[in-house]
Amino acid sequence: MSTFLEGVEAPLPDGEEVLWQAKPARNALALHAFHARKIALYFGALICLSAIFASGEAEPLAFFLASAKWLALGGAVACGFAFIVATLSARTTLYAITERRVVMKIGIALPVVLNIPLHIIDGVDIKRRSDGSGDLALRLGNQSRVAFAVLWPHARAWHVRYPEPLLRGLVNVDGVGAMLKQALLSATAGTVSDSPYVERSIPEMSGAGAKAPSPTLATS
């Protein structure tokens, strides 16, 4: 095991070791965080609509080709931008699990390191995809919050008032989830109950969320 995190100069405190660290998959970020597939479907629908409108024109084929060309170009630029941002985000992001905390190094222009002590994590929710990849959402106590804008796109959607850090695009989400579950069991003395998020395979850990300190932010 290592005591250093990739891209973080300072070592972990004495006695603490890294259990796992990895970067999110670029394609997963592009498709599910920056919605490249939805962008492509949107422009595809616009092209189909242009074909319908073209039927009422004097020269339907010329009208359709002219509009479809610009719509296809716009769609390609938008999807390309989504993949570029996803590539930059994947390169500058690091997720890690240690014996005492979850670490998220995030941010393209202004990187920050978010340290989330295991004992303030109230629950872990898992979302699987058909290829075995997926996301892990960390539910924190109400007094242990970090701004949604700081977390995005590494934040669970629609949870703005009580943001939940999201480990996106994990290639082996079950393996990482099992490792995090074991780390939580070792670090807390909570009881276990089912988690409500998508697949109920990772139990909820009842911790000291209401009185726990907030996660710390450090610039890098």
Locate all alpha helices (DSSP H) within 107-172, ordered by sequence. Answer: 148-151
CB atoms under 10 Å from CB of 81, counted, come to 13
Report pLDDT digits (tens) over 109-124.
888 999 999 988 888 9
Helix (H) or strand (E) holding 2: none
**Residue 49 DSSP SS3:** helix
Q: Are 169 and 153 in contact (CB under 8 A)?
A: no
How large a percentage of the chain has pLDDT more than 90? 49
**Residue 64 DSSP SS3:** helix
Report pLDDT digits (tens) over 20-49.
999 999 999 999 999 999 999 999 999 999
Reported in sequence order, the residue ranges of the chain that DSSP labels E, i.e. its strands, are 18-22, 94-98, 101-106, 112-117, 121-128, 134-140, 166-170, 192-193, 204-205, 216-219
What are the tokens at 207? 């911790």
Q: Are 75 and 14 in contact (CB under 8 A)?
A: no
Report pLDDT digits (tens) over 146-200.
889 899 999 999 888 889 999 999 999 999 999 998 898 888 654 444 333 333 3
pTM: 0.79
Q: Are 150 and 2 in contact (CB under 8 A)?
A: no
Q: What is the dihedral of CA 163, 165, 170, 174, to 10 degrees?
A: -90
